[in-house]
Structure 1
Amino acid sequence: MNVLLLAYAMLALAIVSEVTGSAFLVKSEGFTKLGPSLLVVVFYVVSFYLLSQVIKTIPLGIAYAIWGGVGIVLTALVGFFVFKQTLDLPALIGIGMIVGGVIVMNVFSNSIGH
């Protein structure tokens, strides 16, 4: 399997793990509920482990920007659809800018080494 493709697959799993951990962070109610609190830790550890493997192939700045940017967008979507939290126009514009930044990095940057 292509090393870069594997790195991106691990990055996707790292993002999903971080977003899942963040969702359980809401359910932990300030770390007062043991089960969700433990799941927060487990998913965050998995996320950071995978991210640590990704940066062996993808430069740190690029990997972290994608991880953080896509994580923010997905976390906002989970908040909206799962927890019924609202997003106003400035929030949607900001999310759009984050998505745009990730796209620009992936399409136009030579730092990634496509």
Structure 2
Amino acid sequence: MPYVFLTLAIASEICATISMKFCEGFTRLLPSIVVVLGYLVSFALFSQALKHMSVSTAYAIWSGAGTAVVAAIGFSFLGEDVNLLKVGGIVLIIAGVVALNLGGASH
């Protein structure tokens, strides 16, 4: 169950982060509401995941997956430029998350 909470927390954080792109400095109401609610839901779900997971592993997965997915959305749908250095950075983030998980962190 903690991985379900973590997955939902990541999805909520991704929605909030992408919505921030469209809220224009919190001057547009709907995207601004999505940002605030998205982060609130994300933190609430993340705190539930932390009841049964080590913080190092959970945070690495949460931040790494969020970063990689938001970057991929930016490249794919928001017209952001992609280059080998950016892709390499994302690969390193994913490798770091895998290394933490293989390291057997416990709570």
> What interval of TM-score do these two structures reach, taking the shorter chain for normalisation?
over 0.9
CA distance in structure 1 between the aligned counterparts of 2:29 and 2:106, rounded to whole angstroms: 40
Which of 66, 73, 79 pairs up with 1:78? 73
Q: Aligned match of 2:8 in 13, 25, 36?
A: 13
Count of paired positions: 107
Matched residue, 2:105: 111
Question: What TM-score results when the alignment is normalised by the length of structure 1?
Answer: 0.89
1:38 to 2:38 alignment = no
Q: Runs of 5+ in structure 1 lacking a partner?
A: 1-5
> Sequence identity, in percent?
38
Residue 112 of structure 1: how far off its partner (Å): 3.8
CA distance in 2, matches of 1:72, 1:110: 23
Residue type of the alignment partner of 2:104: N
- Offset at 1:82? 1.8
**How far apart are 1:102 and its partner, in Å?**
1.1
Q: Does 1:93 align with 2:72?
A: no
TM-score normalised by L of structure 2: 0.94
1:61-93: CA deviations, max 9, x gaps?
Answer: 211111001100001011111211112211110
Any unmatched runs of 5+ in structure 2?
A: none
- 1:56 counterpart SS class: coil
* Structure 1 ranges of 4+ moved more than 3 A: none
Which amino acid in the other structure matches residue 66 of structure 1? I
